[in-house]
Amino acid sequence: MSAPYIALLVFEAILGVLMIILILLHAPKGDGMAGIGAAATVFSGKRGAEAGLDRLTWTIFGLFMLVCLILGFGFVK
């Protein structure tokens, strides 16, 4: 295994852990059983912090998938 391959593996592991942390930081979206009836409240937009967290999560996800494709197709050996 070469140094770039090992570096990408480490980077992928870091991105994976970071993605888990970011997903756990998101606010819960469901209302549970109250969401079935008329007690559910629907908000039209996201708040600033939630929108930023959402954007950061999608960016980390995109980088994670890019590294997965690079490693999976064997572009770096």
The residues spanned by each domain of the chain are: 1-23+48-77
Q: What is the pLDDT of residue 69?
A: 97
Share of the chain above pLDDT 90, in %: 62
pTM of structure:
0.76
Roughly what angle, to the nearest 10 degrees, separates helices 48-72 and 3-25? 150
What average pLDDT score do residues 31-57 get?
68
Structure tokens belonging to residue 68: 């997965």
Structure tokens belonging to residue 12: 């992928």
Tell me: pLDDT of 12 over 70.
yes
Diameter over CA atoms, the chain? 59
Give Cα 31 distance to the centre of its chain. 22
Q: 5 CB contacts (<8 Å, ≥6 apart)?
A: 71, 76, 77
Which residue's structure tokens are 């997965």? 68
Which residue's structure tokens are 């970011």? 22
